[in-house]
Structure 1
């Protein structure tokens, strides 16, 4: 079925990109054509193309799943729509920066590798989630026991993981004497460029040490900080987009109006002038990344677990409860902001207020359940650094303790009304085993804190911290999440 996105089929006030898409070349290969990328990097690139005569086109690749999405994208000439939904108004944009797409299922691994090895490709970017990097969270190094990595080490020229694809594509470029590309992670991971670099170099070292040395010398891995709330597309979203557009768009996505992208200026082969849209190139992304991870992502996780347990389906629903609203703001300003080291002139109070406004946007149906996914991969990044700061300085961290306790109750797999929670997490089996041993008792806290892949060993040795989390846990179990949040 062809979804004819053309100026004749679109509703009044909505039009195709005005730039000539024929001038574009696939200079960016992006791994992970998911919701976030569609509403963020691809959109920002499209806005740069509208302002310049640049030729930076994107080739989209989904390595796992998403076959149908790629098929639908091809059926509409790689055009798709983004609906930016404010509290009062919605703006619809047609994105034209994507010009090609590949999937190993249809096109084969070699076609993907050949695309990544093409001379004009200057950047390979990624939104593959934490899991896609195949890193052992305890060591920060490549997880050699990861099933994908094990298979890829046996046949590196027939990769399955994103990391192995990158290494093999760089090997081909080196053999053919083609300049390398920049590897740019756009995942919501602390030091995402460093994580990507560690995974790529570890894998390359295991396959061919001389290739690893060449990558170390010639390839850069800039860190980035990305921010935009992009809920997963639902049937309701797609129906709404059809009404707004005048034509159906199965690749369409809805998001908030706010958008931010901070990029370490460290590219080996050029980059688009993303700063002409809304991006900011900086020498060091770390302060901005910490700000977002702790203030936004940390409070988001807090609201996801305690909101879900409190019976709230969406983040905006939690904001209708004054206790949740105040707790989220206090967590940002009292538990997280004091731990940050920001460039001069950064106004964290304004940033926190802006976040509360964004959370309150009722047009965004951002599910607490969706944000609660993969907590084992996120919780230490979002709360661990701040916890260490407060424990060293003997300052107040009760919001962090409550957030961790909320996560612990959530992963029990049973909510306050006795209903099953669909816990999506790579460690869910381990949580199940722990709960079978302990039940919903105080002793479960120490067992969960003892998982070294999530929590560093210094935390479980701190009796005061264990006690604080245990008290918060017992409060949620006995009085319910809403009362526990109100107690803060």
Structure 2
């Protein structure tokens, strides 16, 4: 049965569906970057609140800035913007739920910049939220500053009335609202990067200052940018997921979402134009998200990077396959216990021992079939957020460096594009060609790779101890392979 509003009453009884009418929902949130994670996280929380009879004025209008988002828009539009969320784990019963909180979607490339800016500037929109990936914030990691030389940013600076970039659109909409006296909206990042609200604020103000310093001053005084910690493993939707949904549950959904049962959202309560009562459906509001954020980014995201490139080199293609290898499990435990945990401040309400075991269990979830390719993607942006802070602290403390250096050495080997069985693969990274050029020649590889401050910051390039650890583990991977390298590292 095709998923759409008309067919909702005919769905099998075990499938949860909106308790509200779609016509009763109006958009109060515009979300830039409608993808699997947003639909498994923020949109799902919002739908749960709507199902309780609240927040009908907090529907979501999706905004797309990339040409490759047209497929998702067309798929969702064809089914009245409904989609199916499927939770997967080893339990025999999993939740299958139709979500209705997204009510529309606009694409800059098809609907035009003016239509998108007009929608963002509408007074009904009170939150503009983002999932634009770690690399979408246009920050130069070597300087910590906004990179105004990026092509889409340059386009917007030359064509301020026809913006195509995220921050060009946001600033154009805020300028319009300021001029019309309709007031500001909250800009809320839901991306996995440290201090995501602060980074969003910095990028927005940097762009605004280049366009109109008076606008920048108004944004600084009136717009809020709450920090958040977001967490739910959401693999890429595959043809198999669509087929399984059709075969097992009788739903024909062009773009369902699969995810793990675990979900967490810790959010600073700083909203200038109101917010949904997400706390009623499990969101934790706090005055300081930093301890939760550091815990999650260093333990979960950092451990993901620690296993993903090694796993891919070993020939695995799914996270759970990697975690079925005892060497990988022991390596990840040692990394979390010995390298990361000593760096973490106490986290209110969290037992770190239990949290780390939860991560092991989540990574081992074979039902979700999380792709290593997804975790591998955009490594040149992820390292600075997820691994470099841990490495910098280890260097400063004169601590053991081999486990952390192995993560970087594995990435260097991964960039060669061939696993240890001789199987070639593509590198899913916008800067893939550049990164591969850094490891093309063995001569001088260490200095070329580790010297890239936009990836590794300023401390790693000047640490002789880390350079030695990197070269030691790179040599081991070349001569002993992944299993031999892990076995040697873990028996020391």
Under TM normalisation by the shorter chain, which class is it?
over 0.9
Conserved? CA contact 2:186–2:273, under 8 Å: yes
| Residue number in structure 2 paired with 1:261 | 265
Deviation digits for residues 451-484 of structure 1 (CA, Å, limit 9, x no counterpart) = 1111123222221111111111111111111221
| Residue number in structure 2 paired with 1:373 | 377
CA separation of 1:344/1:13 partners in 2, compared to 1, >3 Å: closer, same or farther? closer
1:2 Cα deviation after fit: 6.4
1:172 pairs with one of 158, 169, 176: 176
| Residue number in structure 1 paired with 2:59 | 57
Structure 1 stretch displaced more, 25-34 or 52-61: 52-61
2:148 pairs with one of 144, 148, 153: 144
Q: How does 1:194-343 map to 2 (within 5 A)?
A: 194-343=198-347
Rounded Cα–Cα distance in structure 2 between residues aligned with 1:54 and 1:430: 46
Rounded Cα–Cα distance in structure 1 between residues aligned with 2:289 and 2:463: 31
| Residue number in structure 2 paired with 1:38 | 39
**3-state SS of the aligned residue for 1:300?**
helix
Conserved? CA contact 1:4–1:247, under 8 Å: no
| Residue number in structure 1 paired with 2:4 | 4
1:82 pairs with one of 81, 85, 99: 85
Rounded Cα–Cα distance in structure 1 between residues aligned with 2:113 and 2:432: 31
Whether 1:428 and 2:429 are equivalent positions in the alignment is no
**3-state SS of the aligned residue for 1:473?**
helix
| Residue number in structure 1 paired with 2:396 | 392
CA separation of 1:144/1:233 partners in 2, compared to 1, >3 Å: closer, same or farther? same
| Residue number in structure 2 paired with 1:485 | 486
1:345 Cα deviation after fit: 4.8
Rounded Cα–Cα distance in structure 2 between residues aligned with 1:397 and 1:433: 26
1:46 Cα deviation after fit: 0.4
Rounded Cα–Cα distance in structure 1 between residues aligned with 2:340 and 2:173: 40
| Residue number in structure 2 paired with 1:134 | 138
Rounded Cα–Cα distance in structure 1 between residues aligned with 2:73 and 2:438: 40
Conserved? CA contact 2:392–2:459, under 8 Å: no
RMSD of aligned C-alpha atoms? 1.6
Q: What is the TM-score when the length of structure 1 is the normalising length?
A: 0.96
Rounded Cα–Cα distance in structure 1 between residues aligned with 2:348 and 2:297: 19
Whether 1:69 and 2:72 are equivalent positions in the alignment is yes
**3-state SS of the aligned residue for 2:87?**
strand
Structure 2: gaps (5+ residues): none
The alignment covers a number of residue pairs equal to 485
1:36 Cα deviation after fit: 0.5
Structure 1: gaps (5+ residues): none
Deviation digits for residues 160-187 of structure 1 (CA, Å, limit 9, x no counterpart) = 1111000000000001000110000101
Rounded Cα–Cα distance in structure 2 between residues aligned with 1:344 and 1:59: 34
Conserved? CA contact 2:3–2:82, under 8 Å: no
| Residue number in structure 1 paired with 2:17 | 16
